[in-house]
Homo-oligomer: A and B are copies of this chain.
Amino acid sequence: MSGGTVRSLGKGSAPPGPVPEGLIRVYSMRFCPFAKRTLLVLTAKGIRHEVININLKNKPEWFFKKNPLGLVPVLETSLGQLICESAITCEYLDEAYPGKKLWPSDPYEKACQRMIFESFSKVPSLMVSFLRMQNKEDCSGLKEELHKEFSKLEEVLTNKKTTFFGGSSLSMIDYLIWPWFEWLEALELNEYLEHTPNLKLWMASMKKDPTVSSLPTDVKTLQGFFNLYMQNSPEACDYGL
């Protein structure tokens, strides 16, 4: 069902056909944290889907018809409707499909989760900057910023006195921010969790979640991917296959 281990499609590949009825398609990349959000929601809600992985270092020309920006994730329905932007895809799936709602139904609770999401928004670019740093000595400024962002999240959890960011069970906000925490170990940033015990506990709880554990990212494989991706290698996206 997931096809998450399929080789990516690159330049010169044939465009895929229409999406079969009863399925939704996600254009993804095995190591993309933004696309991971969409995969987590698809899996958590038990939505039948197919995955087409895109070689982000050698993008197929047809992919720009799916998203002019050429970014993953993109959802495509059997009606040919296209939805871009990871957070928008996640909200779409939550609304369009039955089953457990991942966004809370209470408007204030939902607003709170969205405010946490907004608060988290600096983390992805910080992590990418960290990844790009060749000279590890210059990292101290970045590390301080990252530490600040993690402390903010720690405060939220401490104030809420719950395991997860939305309460005692996993909800949308947890899935939306999770993929970057998967990177911490691979980027050797685990030390930052020493000052944030609640965040550490949250990570341990996340790893036990059936959805999260069904979509694991192996540290060594991720590091192999980072290495090739930073060199702009067209082999990066298929590392480990």
Instruction: List residues of chain A with CB under 8 Å of any chain B CB.
Output: 77, 81, 83-85, 88-89, 91-92, 95-96, 107-108, 110-111, 114-115, 118
**In the complex the two chains form, is B96's CB within 8 Å of A114's CB?**
no
A97 nearest CB neighbor, chain B only: B107
In the complex, what's the smallest C-beta–C-beta distance from A185 to chain B, in angstroms? 30
Task: Tell me what chain A mostly uses at the interface: helix, strand, loop, or mixed.
Answer: helix
Q: What residues of B have a CB within 8 angstroms of the CB of A88 in the complex?
A: 111, 114-115, 118
Q: How far is the CA of A118 from the CA of B92 in the complex (A)?
A: 15
CA of A15 to CA of B89, assembled, Å: 41
Closest Cβ of chain B: how far from A86's Cβ, in Å? 11
CB-based contact B81/A115 at 8 Å = no
Would you call A107 and B85 a contact (CB within 8 A)? no
Q: Which residues of B contact A115 (CB under 8 A)?
A: 83-85, 88
Q: Given A91-B114, A114-B91, answer yes or no on A108-B85 (Cβ-Cβ < 8 Å).
A: no
When all copies of this chain in the complex are counted, the total is 2
Are B85 and A96 in contact (CB-based, < 8 A)?
no
Please measure, in the bound complex, the distance between the C-alpha atom of A119 and the C-alpha atom of B123, giving whole angstroms. 21
Pull 9 A–B residue pairs with CB atoms less than 8 Å apart, ordered by A.
A81-B108, A84-B118, A85-B118, A88-B118, A91-B110, A91-B114, A92-B110, A96-B107, A96-B108
- Bound-state Cα–Cα, A222 to B220, Å: 57
Residues of B within 8 A of A84 (CB): 115, 118
CA distance A92 to B107 in the complex (A): 6
- A129 CB, nearest partner CB in chain B, Å: 19
Contacts of A110 in B (CB 8 A): 91-92, 95
B85-A114 in contact (CB<8A): yes
Query: What separation, in Å, do the CA atoms of A81 and B114 have in the docked complex?
Result: 14
List B contacts of A77 (CB < 8 A).
Answer: 108
Known: A88-B114, A88-B118. 5 other contacts (CB 8 A): A83-B111, A84-B118, A91-B107, A91-B111, A91-B114
Nearest-CB distance from A72 to chain B (Å)? 15
Chain B min CB distance to A228 (Å):
30
